[in-house]
Structure 1
Amino acid sequence: MSHSKTYDLIVVGAGISGLSFAYQVAKTGKQVLILEADDRIGGCLNTHYHDKNDFWLEMGAHTFYATYANLNALIKSCGLESDIEPRAKIGMKVFTDRHEKIMSRVSKWELFRSVPHLFFSKRDGKTVKEYFGKIVGKNNYDKVFNRMFSAVIVQNADNFSSEYFLKRRKTKSKEHPKSFILKKGMQSFIERLAASENIEVITQQNVTSVKNEKQVSVTTESGEIFTARDIAFACSPQKVAALLSEILPKLSKRLNEFPTQNIISRATVLPKEKINFEPVSFVIPLQGSCFSMVTRDVLPHKESRGFAFHFEDGKISKEKQEQFMAELLQLEQLEVSDTVEAKHQLPLISLGHKERIQDLEKYAEEAGIYLTGNYFNGLSLEDCVERSVKEFSRYQKNA
C-alpha cells in the first residue's frame, strides 16, 4: 500500500543514532517518519521493566557521563534532567572461579616496568592489543586486560583500533554527576525522544528497498510504501549496504567492510536475600564467552537485585549461558532459569577506519543521503549522538 503523505525525512532505524538525528530535524518543524524493523525502539538502549515491584534493569547501554556534552544537551532539551540519578560508588570485580578484586590477577612488577611506554607511545595505526599490550605488559594484557577492555566494547578488543577506544573527552559538565542514570531507565529517554512533536515512529517495518529519484521511495517487507524528500540511515552498515547495493554500489561496498559482532544479553532479577555477595557495579569473567555481568546495584532497590550478562552470540547454548550465570551468582542452576533475552549488534572498528569513514562521507554527500550510527565515531552513546549532530548540521545546510 502506498501512503499519500510525503514526509520531509524518513529515518531507517530507531536506535539512539536515528532518534537523536530525527529529534533535531523535527525541532525545526520538519515532518519525520522513523521506520524500525524490530518490535521495539531504542536499539542498544534496552531497559527491561520487571513485571513485579516496579524494578527495571538495563540490558544494553547502562551509563551516562558528564563528558557526554551532545547527549546531555538532548536530555535537557527533553526535560528529563529532574530524572537524573547519580550512580552509587561501588566497585568492580573479576571472576575466575570466585569474585576477586579487579587488579588481583595483574602482575604489579610487569605493570611497573611497562607503564613508562604510556608517555611516548602513539595510538595512531595501532590495535588495542598493540598499543595497550606495551603499556600494561604482554602477560598482563593476555591474562587480564584483554578481558577488561573486551568488557568495555562487548567484543574481543585485540583488533579494535586504539584511536577509537577509551577516547579522551575535553568536555565535562559541572551540572551533571560524573556518571549517572535515569530514574526510570534509559528507555525513558528513548521514549521521550520518540514522542516529540513532528516525529512519527512505526515499528515492525523492515525496509527492503529504497529508490532515490526526484523524491525518496521506501518499501517495507509488509508491502507498505512511504515517500519523503530526504532519507537517513541509522541501522547496521550491512543493512544499509544491502539497501543501497543497486543504486549506490561504491558506498555499499565500503559499508560492507565494517564487520559486526552479534551479542546475546541475558538478564535475571532476583530477591535480594538470594544473593550473598556485596553490591558490585560490574563483574568481568577472565575466561569463557561472557564479556561481562552488569548490575543494577548502582541504583539500589529495597527488594530486588538485577544482573545482565553479555555473551558472544553462537558460542554456547542458552542452557550453558544460564549455567554460567548461576555459577557467577553463586546460585543453583534452577534459580536463574527464568531469564530475559535481548539481541544486539555492534561494529568492530578496525585499522583504516578514518579512511573508510572519509569515503562514506564523500559518497553520502554526492548521493544526497544521510548516514549515522555507532560505526562512525565509536561505540559510546555520545559517539552516536555526536555523529547525528554532525549529520544534522549538514542537513540544515542542504535544506
Structure 2
Amino acid sequence: MNFETEAIRTQIDRTDFQEHSSPLYLTSSFVFEDAEDMRASFSEEKQRTIYSRFTNPNTSEFVDKICNMEGAEAGYAFATGMSAVFSTFAALLDGGDHIISARSVFGSTHTLFTKFLPKWNINTSYFKIGEVDKIESLITPKTKVIYAESPTNPGVDIVDLERLGKIARKHNLILIIDNCFATPYLQNPIKFGADLVIHSATKLIDGQGRVLGGVTVGKADLIREIYLFSRNTGPALSPFNAWVLSKSLETLAIRVDRHCENALKIAEFLETHPKVNWVKYPFLKSHPQYDIAKRQMKLGGNIIAFEIKGGVEFGKEFLNTIKLCSLSANLGDTRTIVTHPASTTHSKLSIDDRGEVGITDGMVRISVGLESTEDIITDLKQALQSIP
C-alpha cells in the first residue's frame, strides 16, 4: 500500500465491539487463561502482551506503522526521543566501544556522547558534515557505530546517507540515523544503508505539541537487543501517548506537505531580505548540500536556519519583536516557532564549539508551522524591520 494508506489502515485487531478507530488500552498488565498460558507467555513461546512496560496494543500499532513507513523489520517505542537515543546506544555498546558521529548533533546527544557514555569507557570521535571522507581515518578496532542526523539540528545541514551506508557496510559497522527532521514521509535512511533509524516522535510525528515520544526501528536482531534492555530498564512509551502518535501518523503526509510548502516560501522570502546574511534550507539551490538533499529527500522539511546581521543582541531583539510566531524550544508543531540558539539552547557552548556546528551569533532557527504563509512572513518582516 502507499504511504498515506499504510498510515491510516495499519491498526491492531478489532475487539468484539468492532470499533472503527483503535481503542485505548490503558492497562498496566494483562491476564492469562491458566498457568500454562502464563508460563508460555513469559518464556516467549507464545507471542502476546504481558505487561505494558514490555508491549501494549497501542504501542505495537504505533511501532508497526513506523516500521511500515521506514521499511524496517522491527522497532521499539520510548517515552521520549532522547530515551530512544540513549537506550539504543546503551543496549548495543559495551565498555571500550567507540562511536563515530557527525559533529552536528542535537545538544543532548552531544552531552550524552561527551559526559555520560565516557563513564562506561564508551568514547566518540566526530567528523564534520563536509568531511565524510575522513570517517575511515577515525575507525579503530573498537569502533562499533556510525551515527548522524540529517537534516541536522539546528543548522539544517545534510549528510550523504548513501556514502555513510557504504562505509558502514565496508567496515561492518552499525549505521544509526536520526531521521527526526525529515520524518519517514520525506526520507527513509534504511534505503541508503542505515541499520537503525531513530525518531523523536514529539516533533513532526505528533505535529501538535501535545505529547512526548520516541521510537527506534530497523534490523530485527538489533531491535531485539534494544527491546531486552528496555523491558528491564523501563523507558517505554505510555499507551495513551502511543495512541495519540498513531492517530497523528494518519495525517502526517498531508501535514508535512503543507509544512514544506510553507517553509520553501518563507526561505525564499528570507533570502531576499537585506537584514539577513544567509539562509539554509535543504531545497534552496543555495544550500551547500542541495544536490544531496534532492537525491535523498522528497521535500525540504519544515526547518529553516538563517543569520541576522548584527549578532547576538540583534538576534535577541528579533525574538523580542516577534508577535505571531512562538518562542519555544520545541519544533515540528502546527504553530511556527522561532529560536535563537546562541542565546538559548546552545548558549553554554563556547563560541568555537558553536562555530564547529555552524551556530553563529546571529543564527535563528524557524520551525515553520501550518499558518498562512502571508501571516508568518508579515510577522517575520516586522521583526526584521525592528532591527537597527
Structure with a larger share of its residues in helix: 2
TM range (shorter): under 0.3
TM-score using structure 2 length: 0.27
More strand, by proportion: 1
Q: Which has the higher relative contact order, 1 or 2, with Cα contacts under 8 A spaced 6 or more apart? A: 1
TM-score normalized with structure 1 length: 0.27
